[in-house]
């Protein structure tokens, strides 16, 4: 279940309340007259089944509340209510299959921005991966894969391609390019200094068969990237953060960047090319699969998730 809060001008309150009271998948409707101060208006609260939320938000936006009021949704951790159970049973489809497109849009827009936190996490993850390549240690490489934040920008590219928002695609691509360029540059600098101190030697990359798969992209690399991209988008749209961790562990984007930085510092040019190709293959596979998954989700929900009775009234 989701908790809905609507701030509405008084002249539209009756329409909002009627929409919620007649809506399938809606329960626990509360009206607080003149409770809102900025923007001024009435406050209407309700609990909504996830599978009913997207249509309901669309109807509320059609009343102009996105401009003159406010529409907010948040997850309910615990709901002890017979009405909530009945609302979920009456709503068409399943909650995990439903996509709240406005929620997804806000998330991917936020994830597409190249913040300092994004750059820091990616740089730290790349350095951990580089150390894992040098030791070598698969445990460190897996840890670096979990820490990497790059899938947020990848999902933004997928959403931008689906909705033809080229500005969003451009922002996400720039974030990925700037992020990996910064991460590789920082890791290269650390590896170069370490080489000067004698901590890192070229021979360290000649005896790392355990992690040599990073610089050997093949058809399996692309297939895994496709599967990871599809799983990642499903986990984002369904709100399954635990599944997203599995996606991070599946693709070798961060390890490829770490290997590339170390190989640059040690002058191992064949490994530089192999790791760069691995990085491109993985990102391309995730973008292709992620966009296709969103397209299928939109098509299936439009076909098998019919509009709710309240929205046809």
Rounded Cα–Cα distance for residues 235 and 162 (Å): 17
Rounded Cα–Cα distance for residues 213 and 291 (Å): 27
pLDDT of residue 241: 65
Q: DSSP assignment, residue 34?
A: E
Q: Locate the DSSP E strands across 64-117.
A: 70-75
pLDDT of residue 187: 96
Contact status, residue 189 vs residue 125, Cβ threshold 8 Å: no
Q: For residue 18, how many other CB atoms are within 10 A of its CB?
A: 12
Contact status, residue 187 vs residue 126, Cβ threshold 8 Å: yes
Contact status, residue 101 vs residue 159, Cβ threshold 8 Å: no
pLDDT of residue 92: 76
Per-block mean pLDDT, blocks of 10 residues, the chain (313 long): 95 95 92 94 95 91 94 90 88 78 92 93 95 90 91 95 96 96 96 91 77 86 92 83 70 92 91 94 95 90 55 41
What CATH code is assigned to 2-98? Answer: 3.30.70.120
Q: Where are the domains of the chain?
A: 2-98, 104-301
pLDDT of residue 243: 65
pLDDT of residue 207: 67
pLDDT of residue 306: 46
Instruction: Select from 254, 258, 259 the least CA-distant residue to 271.
Output: 259
Give the Å distances, CA to CA, from 265 to 118, 173, 198, 206.
24, 26, 13, 14
């Amino acid at each position: 279940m989701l908790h809905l809060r609507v701030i509405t001008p008084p002249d539209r309150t009756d329409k909002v309340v009627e929409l919620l009271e007649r809506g399938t998948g809606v329960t626990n409707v509360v009206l607080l007259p003149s409770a809102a101060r900025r923007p001024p208006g009435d406050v209407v609260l309700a609990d909504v089944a996830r599978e009913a939320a997207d249509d309901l938000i669309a109807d509320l936006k059609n009343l102009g509340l996105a401009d003159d009021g406010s529409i907010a949704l948040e997850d309910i951790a615990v709901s002890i209510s017979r009405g909530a159970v009945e609302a979920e049973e009456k709503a068409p489809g399943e909650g995990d299959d439903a996509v709240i497109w406005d929620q997804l849009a806000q998330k991917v827009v936020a994830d597409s921005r190249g913040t300092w936190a994004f750059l820091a996490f990616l740089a730290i993850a790349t350095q951990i991966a580089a150390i894992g390549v040098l030791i070598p240690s698969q445990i460190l490489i897996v840890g670096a894969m979990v820490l990497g934040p790059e899938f947020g920008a990848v999902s933004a590219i997928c959403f931008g391609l689906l909705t033809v928002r080229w500005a969003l695609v451009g922002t996400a691509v720039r974030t990925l390019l700037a992020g990996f360029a910064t991460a590789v540059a920082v890791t290269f600098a650390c590896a170069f200094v370490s080489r000067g101190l004698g901590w890192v030697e070229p021979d360290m990359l000649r005896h790392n068969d355990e992690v040599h798969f990073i610089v050997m992209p093949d058809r399996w690399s692309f297939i895994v990237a496709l599967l990871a991209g599809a799983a990642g988008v499903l986990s984002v749209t369904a709100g399954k953060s635990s599944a997203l961790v599995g996606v991070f562990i599946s693709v070798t984007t961060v390890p490829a960047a770490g290997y590339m930085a170390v190989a640059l510092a040690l002058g191992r040019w064949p490994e530089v090319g192999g790791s760069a190709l691995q990085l491109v293959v993985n990102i391309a596979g995730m973008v292709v699969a992620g966009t296709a998954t969103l397209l299928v989700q939109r098509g299936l929900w439009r076909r098998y998730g019919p509009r709710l009775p309240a929205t046809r009234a």
